[in-house]
Amino acid sequence: MGSYVIRRLLQMIPVFFGSTFLIFFMVYSLGDPVAALFGDRAPDPATAARIRRELYLDQPLWKQYLHYMGQLFQGDFGTAFNGQKVTELMRDAYPVTLRLTLVAIVIELLVGVTLGVFSGLKRGRLIDSSTLFATLLVISVPTFVTGYVLQYLLGVKWGIVRPTVSTDAPLNELILPGVVLAMVSLAYVTRLTRTSIAENSRADYVRTAVAKGLPRRRVITRHLLRNSLIPVITFIGTDIGALMGGAIVTETIFNIHGVGYQIYQGILRNNAPTVVGFVTILVIVFLLANLVVDLLYAVLDPRIRYV
Amino acid sequence: MSEPQDPREAIAATGTGGAMDLALSEATSLSVPPDGRSEGQGEDEKARSLWSDAWHELRRNPVFIVSALLIAFLVVISIWPSLIASGNPLSCDLAKSQEGPASGHPFGFDTQGCDVYTRTVHGARASVTVGVCATLGVALLGSVLGGLAGFYGGWWDALLSRVTDIFFGIPVLLGGLVFLSVVTSTTIWPVVGFIVLLGWPQVARIARGAVLTAKQNDYVQAARALGAGNGRMLLRHVAPNAVAPVIVVATIALGTYISLEATLSFLGVGLRPPTVSWGIDISAAAQHIRSAPHMLLWPAGALSLTVLAFIMLGDAVRDALDPKLR
Amino acid sequence: MLLEVRDLHVEFRTRDGIAKAVNGVNYSVDEGETLAVLGESGSGKSVTAQAVMGILDVPPGKITGGEILFRGKDLLKFKEEERRKVRGAEMAMIFQDALSSLNPVLSVGDQLGEMFIVHRGMSRKDARTKAVELMDRVRIPGAAQRVRDYPHQFSGGMRQRIMIAMALALEPALIIADEPTTALDVTVQAQVMDLLAELQRELNMGLILITHDLGVVADVADKIAVMYAGRIVESAPVHDIYKAPAHPYTKGLLDSIPRLDQKGQELYAIKGLPPNLMHIPPGCAFNPRCPMAQDVCRTDEPPLFAVDEHRGSACHFWRECLNG
């Protein structure tokens, strides 16, 4: 197990440099941050040149990247349009986003796994077909559509919840945004659980468990579930990336002052370095989250540990 | 298999599995003899290939029929929107801003006074084009890179694994925001290009896995023993088996790409005016949802229906091609 | 009589029709006795065993007739909860592929101990001790350390021993071994069969050995039942069958065994293939492939004729077959 952990940590290093470089490359090589800063207006050559010098953009790409990484390792992820450092904005904003994301993950796991288990065990029956169809519908409706529709229906028309979230974003106000954020992922979790349960139900080791005279409940909880949930746990790893993206949409719709909101503000003002700074932090978080998930996977599935 | 299945591939394996169960292993060994006949058997036992079996099943699947028809309709109106919408989506009359449905204008008007119906119909083109082009690009690039890595193995394979890890490390929407916000072109190609850029690793993984599995089949070893060269083996023996999983993933991905484009357009970094896009329209309509919900609901409905159609199609195709349900 | 299967019928409903997997099977096993059930894939040997254990997939499978008498009581009339208690404690099953038949994420000790926790109400600690004892009994070296290991960390032969240990944990009266050695190397096969035979003698268990391998059967079995297309076509004490088979199918199986003293001749194989269980030929199911088939074989299904008081053969021409 120890060697597995070490190997995963080592693997993370080239991926970290690769991903940060990829972002960097996309923004500064494929894109033109200075032109974007000016938006629709034609850039004044002198100002453009000055900005280019300030942002190091007149250097060759590799030098830019090294400088960029140098800043990163000193903890400098850039400055936002209002003069605050990105790290400061992040520090203030992340607790809100964290709460929102946690609400979403809890919802998606609780509801998704339960639904998935029921429809997986009762394959072919009504609950199964209706769950399948419902998940398809949910996946097809983009998060921003669900967000606005639910905000309108529940927040405005029927007045059940506040349409927007107040500044300190208490947990109860985050439930509707959390549901919106979790929706699509929930559908995926349900399907994944269902498929996993359905497949594992026919596995030989389940047949053995039944042949051993174990009660049905024990067969399901101790044998079937433990195996079936492994792919779901690993799915959560990639899902965190989707949730990060979704959080931007959700926070914009519900006016939640979290990380996503900050990123969106940066985009509105065409401030590439700020956006890059935020996104780089998020990528690092994502890589770490995936590492944790992979380790969790090894804990759950002993076959991985000794590979 | 010498290595455990990559957990992220399990995602691609989300299936509907609507077909009935076959019995236990005992019953599945009630085999029809491979050559298709034994004394007393009829013509219905002819050996069938994966594709004709799949087609046979698809034809009987109502989900497939409905989604295929819907997609055909969408493709037709994205090429010839004037077939059902005679107006010009860009000719707007501010005086009619946010008005509801009127005669000749069944969906009403948006904030700029443009006809919502016309814009909704014309919006199909952008979404369908982006979806189809991006999927083609992702499928081609991903299959080639993944297939070659799986086939040749060794150094190439390790390199591909690292590269896909790197690409997977960037959540798609974040990458899209970062990249597209520094792009000033107003055509659809940056969006398509971006989706291809971040989307190919998913297909590459599937293709690589499928090629690896196919490579281990006995008949591939047999072909090698009979002196088949690499090129021939790849094309004739390995590739045909890798195609099915790629098709399944690509079809479903198409739906998600359309959704992705709409989200990017909604956030202001995707398609830009004057391109007519559902995402743009929804974004503009969002603030006025209380006063004029029709401006948002029609494009949102059209978008959801389109994504649903493609995903349903992908699901049906997967059911038909899934070997585990045979 | 420990176990008596009487006129058992099992069907499977599939998308393409009804497959008749078991068509009127009768066999019996007593304590201390070993019955070998022989047949190719599709003969119904595993399905019968699964019906006895009560682990058939009930849709699509269905028991459509017959009785399964265990110590005189018909199991098919038991409620599911009563049947569950019998399973594992009084009758147990060993499966062919130990790797897939063991839960990959639970330790071997947990899976062994489970029997005691569920059926005997033991504590986890006591169950763990029993698990180590069991592993010792099936001669797994270093049991005390290996009890925490996972199935994939054992070799094939040792995994099969663990399956055996799990089966006899509660000292059941009957063990059904479904192709226990098919997936193993030949040398390991012999070790595992020896172990099974020894434990059976020790505990005086009835053993039903399902296999398609005639070589394995000769050492271990007391009597043999040969199955084809869901029916028993021949039953006899083991040596009688090897000396002189009374059914053309059995004869064909024996003739197919390659012999060291035959050189340079073509290997014999029964021509044709087993029937599709959705379209079993009328009359004697074997008739399309039988070298001795006559008209009566195509119309009249032969009952199990009594060859002598211990032997039966479901062939109209059993006398001719017996006499070569």
Contact B27 C60 (CB under 8 A): yes
Tokens linked to B191: 């969006």
Partners of A204 on chain C (C-beta within 8 Å) are: 95, 97, 100-101
Subunit partners of chain A (3 or more CB pairs within 8 A):
B, C
Residue B102 belongs to some domain of the structure: no
Residues 6+ apart with CB under 8 A from B26: C21, C41, C42, C44, C46, C47, C50
pLDDT band at B38 (very low <50, low <70, confident <90, very high): very low
Say whether pLDDT at C179 is over 60.
Answer: yes
Strands C231-237 and C305-308, how do they pair? Answer: unpaired
The CA distance from B138 to B140, in Å, is 6
- Structural domain including A293 reads 86-300
Summarize the confidence of residues B258-266 as an average pLDDT.
91
| Top-confidence range, A76-90, A93-107, A122-136, A148-162 | A93-107
Summarize the confidence of residues C249-275 as an average pLDDT.
81
Tens digit of each residue's pLDDT (9 = 90 or more) over A126-168: 888 889 889 989 999 999 999 988 888 888 778 777 777 777 7
Q: What is the CATH number of the domain that holds B78?
A: 1.10.3720.10
Q: Are the CB atoms for C88 and C115 separated by under 8 Å?
A: yes
The partner residues of C69 in beta bridges, in order of sequence, read C4, C74
Residues 6+ apart with CB under 8 A from B258: B127, B128, B130, B131, B303, B306, B307, B310
pLDDT band at A301 (very low <50, low <70, confident <90, very high): confident
Residue B47 belongs to some domain of the structure: no
Q: What is the CATH number of the domain that holds A230?
A: 1.10.3720.10
pLDDT value, residue B18:
21
Please give, rounded to a whole number of angstroms, the shortest distance from the CA of A248 to a CA of chain B: 9
A129 CB within 8 Å of a chain B CB? yes
B54, B88, B252, B305, B323 from B316: Cα distances, Å: 10, 36, 10, 16, 14
Residue A18 belongs to some domain of the structure: no
Residue B37 belongs to some domain of the structure: no
**C111-123: b (≥16 Cβ within 10 Å) or e:** bbbbbbbbbeebe
Tens digit of each residue's pLDDT (9 = 90 or more) over C196-231: 889 989 999 999 999 888 877 888 899 999 999 999
pLDDT band at B36 (very low <50, low <70, confident <90, very high): very low
Q: In what order do the strands lie in the sheet with C17-29?
A: C17-29, C3-14, C61-70, C73-74
Say whether pLDDT at B40 is over 60.
Answer: no
What are the start-end ranges of the H helices in chain C? 45-53, 80-86, 98-101, 108-120, 124-137, 143-146, 156-167, 186-203, 214-220, 238-243, 248-256, 295-299, 318-322
Q: How many CB pairs under 8 A join A and B?
A: 199
Residues 6+ apart with CB under 8 A from C255: C268
Residue A206 belongs to some domain of the structure: yes
Residues 6+ apart with CB under 8 A from C55: A207, A210, A211, C87, C93
pLDDT value, residue B48:
53
Say whether pLDDT at A271 is over 50.
Answer: yes
Say whether pLDDT at C194 is over 80.
Answer: yes
Partners of B259 on chain A (C-beta within 8 Å) are: 140, 142
The CA distance from B283 to B213, in Å, is 45
The CA distance from C180 to C160, in Å, is 7
Residue B80 belongs to some domain of the structure: yes
pLDDT band at B26 (very low <50, low <70, confident <90, very high): very low
Place of tokens 């899902």: A239
Say whether pLDDT at A292 is over 60.
Answer: yes
pLDDT band at A306 (very low <50, low <70, confident <90, very high): low
> Which DSSP category does B272 fall into?
-
The CA distance from C303 to C312, in Å, is 9
Rounded to 10 deg, the angle between the A86-121 and A272-300 helix axes is 40
Structural domains in chain A (count): 1
Say whether pLDDT at C48 is over 70.
Answer: yes
Q: How many CB pairs under 8 A join A and C?
A: 76
Residue A52 is which amino acid? R
Q: Are the CB atoms for C297 and C316 separated by under 8 Å?
A: yes
| Top-confidence range, A96-100, A274-278, B48-52, B116-120 | A96-100
Q: Could you give phi then psi for residue C9, rounded to 5 degrees? A: -125, 130
Residue A279 belongs to some domain of the structure: yes
Q: Are the CB atoms for A185 and A243 separated by under 8 Å?
A: yes
Residues 6+ apart with CB under 8 A from A89: A80, A262, A278
pLDDT value, residue A28:
78
pLDDT value, residue B223:
77
The CA distance from A45 to A35, in Å, is 11
Biggest alpha carbon–alpha carbon distance for chain A: 83
Residue A41 belongs to some domain of the structure: no
CA angle B248, B253, B259 (to 5 degrees): 150
Say whether pLDDT at A183 is over 90.
Answer: yes
Structural domains in chain B (count): 1
Q: Which of B19, B23, B32 sits opposite C12 (nearest CB)?
A: B23
pLDDT value, residue A39:
65
Contact B166 A199 (CB under 8 A): no
Residue A49 belongs to some domain of the structure: no
pLDDT value, residue B82:
80
The CA distance from B246 to B211, in Å, is 11
Summarize the confidence of residues C26-46 as an average pLDDT.
90
Residue C96: its H or E element:
none
Tell me the whole-structure pTM to 2 decimals: 0.83
| Top-confidence range, A169-178, B17-26, B151-160, C62-71 | C62-71
Partners of C273 on chain B (C-beta within 8 Å) are: 33, 38
The CA distance from A107 to A103, in Å, is 6
Say whether pLDDT at B32 is over 70.
Answer: no
B245 vs B15, residue with greater confidence: B245
Q: Which of C84, C100, C114 sits opposite A203 (nearest CB)?
A: C100
The CA distance from A263 to A283, in Å, is 13
| Mutation for A interface: B14, B21, B61, B290, most A CBs within 10 A | B14
- Structural domain including B148 reads 59-86+108-325
Tokens linked to C36: 């070998």
* 3-class DSSP string for C291-314: CCCCHHHHHCCCCCEEEECCEEEC
Q: Could you give phi then psi for residue A129, rounded to 5 degrees? A: -60, -40
Tens digit of each residue's pLDDT (9 = 90 or more) over C74-98: 999 999 999 999 998 999 999 988 9
pLDDT value, residue C220:
85
Residue C271 burial (10 A CB sphere; 0-12, 13-18, 19+): exposed
The region that residue A222 occupies, defined by phi over 0 for left and psi between -120 and 50 for alpha, beta otherwise, is alpha
Q: Which of B10, B11, B178 sits opposite A26 (nearest CB)?
A: B178
Q: Which of A30, A140, A144 sits opposite B311 (nearest CB)?
A: A140
**Chain A: residue whose CA lies nearest to B264:** A249
Tokens linked to B295: 């401006």
A238 CB within 8 Å of a chain B CB? yes
Residues 6+ apart with CB under 8 A from B290: A152, A156
Summarize the confidence of residues B280-301 as an average pLDDT.
84
From first CA to last CA, the distance across chain C in angstroms is: 34
* 3-class DSSP string for chain A: CHHHHHHHHHHHHHHHHHHHHHHHHHHHHHCCHHHHHHCCCCCCHHHHHHHHHHCCCCCCHHHHHHHHHHHHHCCCCCECCCCCEHHHHHHHHHHHHHHHHHHHHHHHHHHHHHHHHHHHHCCCCHHHHHHHHHHHHHHHCCHHHHHHHHHHHHHHHCCCCCCCCCCCCCHHHHHHHHHHHHHHHHHHHHHHHHHHHHHHHCCHHHHHHHHCCCCHHHHHHHHHHHHHCHHHHHHHHHHHHHHHHHHHHHHHHHCCCCHHHHHHHHHHCCCHHHHHHHHHHHHHHHHHHHHHHHHHHHHHCHHHHCC
pLDDT band at A81 (very low <50, low <70, confident <90, very high): low
Residue C86 burial (10 A CB sphere; 0-12, 13-18, 19+): buried
Residue A2 burial (10 A CB sphere; 0-12, 13-18, 19+): exposed
Tens digit of each residue's pLDDT (9 = 90 or more) over C134-178: 999 999 999 899 999 999 999 988 999 999 999 999 999 999 999
Q: What's the complex ipTM?
A: 0.88
